[in-house]
A and B are shown apart, each in its own frame.
Chain A
């Protein structure tokens, strides 16, 4: 019984830390982007204010049960992704619920939130919401291909589908990281990560100038507050996952912060340098060179 309570407490601490880290990271990167454009930019704590503001709205329009459940599914997707990834290797508090085969579950959870959101957005009755969802799902299906190939390459390299074991296999020096032992898988994975974060070349799904704001067009007030909170958790979870897969994981919280910060910075640098793809262009892009690199990584492992 005590063990369960301790685990519950650790989970809450872990969630609290990743939520705040995700929010602060989002604020910091908005500021980095502003510097690139020669602006001062929003305060680092702006994401907190936006969430508070949205939760303090006095009215909210709802469109039915599925509309309520959409953000809940999205949050479940974010929490599910994070809770099965060990954030800090060997730490009791941040090891979460990692178990053998969790890599497959995490890949499923990354997709799950978007599907839940599709149901909620569909019931809002706004024509732009399903349009945004279909664009999001199309792009997601495309970047899943190089990502899945990278994961297959890494899993076959270390003969395991457990993220903890993958991290364990990469310990003992920088040259043991998958980034160096299997660079092709890392390149395919990191290109698909650009699509996963929906940063600039692949930001057409949630771009305000295209179809207004995509799937959450009708989401307002506390619905939007919930989605924004999930965004921070989900972003943190994806950063931790890629750190674990390709960059040797982290053995303490400082190295976790440094590595995830740099991985995020890479997407921001790419986003600041390249213009936005249309959906069909981004699908062609992901199914082209990144997929070939992923296939090459798998083939080299199989040889």
Chain B
């Protein structure tokens, strides 16, 4: 009897170990030596707080938006005037931040070449949740004037989840401010769960990314 129990136990342990191994990321792009330096755990969706606590947290998040200072395309030129005294984004609680670790908003500034998408993915994954993405310009929606370009992606939301799009080529800084205010409204309504969307559909996003990024020499999730 006890042998049977032992056997069952070993089988269930093996099963757990197998499932755990499947949950690990392969990190195939790294050399064996480099694998030891990187985490191989998958991103996990995080449950929001319940009730008034989450509403309060969302209000605080919407009032303090820190943009990642990474201009990914020509649209980034529209971000600079926002800091100047004419448009003054600081009065809306928006300010630039030089490191992805501390920022909460990623502005995809227009067209994203394949080379840049690799950096966009790296930077996006290093940001701490909840994180929000703003697609600036028509190129982020459907490729815009680059829709048939050989080295430019057409839809950024195949690769990372996007919360708000601002169309135009280029959109004016006023349009960008309107987009930020729309983002704030959506955060307050609790509709900006891109971080959880990314974790839940991680395999789909990763497959899309690996389809276009051929020289994948980074970990599967950049902690």
Chain A positions within 8 Å of B, measured between CB atoms, are 30, 34, 37-43, 46, 49-50, 52-53, 56-61, 208-209, 212-213, 216-221, 224
Contact = CB atoms under 8 A, between A and B. Distances in A.
A34 B90 CA distance: 9
Contacts of B25: none
19 contacts: A30-B90, A38-B85, A46-B93, A49-B64, A49-B93, A50-B64, A52-B57, A57-B129, A58-B128, A58-B129, A60-B128, A61-B101, A61-B223, A212-B98, A216-B102, A217-B99, A220-B101, A220-B102, A221-B128
A213 B129 contact: no
Interface of B: 46, 57, 60-61, 63-64, 69, 85, 88, 90-91, 93, 95-99, 101-102, 104, 128-130, 195, 223
Contacts of B95: 42
A41 B102 contact: no
A53 B60 contact: yes
Contacts of A208: 69, 96-98
A52 B130 contact: no
A100 B93 CA distance: 45
Contacts, number: 79
| 10 residue pairs, one from A and one from B, having the closest CB atoms | A212-B98, A52-B60, A220-B101, A53-B64, A208-B98, A56-B57, A38-B85, A58-B46, A39-B85, A39-B88
A219 B102 CA distance: 7
A39 to B, nearest CB: 4
B79 to A, nearest CB: 14
Given A38-B85, A59-B46, A46 B98 contact: no
A49 B90 CA distance: 13
Most chain A CB within a 10 A radius of its CB, from B98, B104, B195, B223: B98
Contact of A49 (B60, B96, B130): B60
Contact of A57 (B63, B90, B128, B223): B128
A33 to B, nearest CB: 10
Contacts of A61: 101, 128, 223
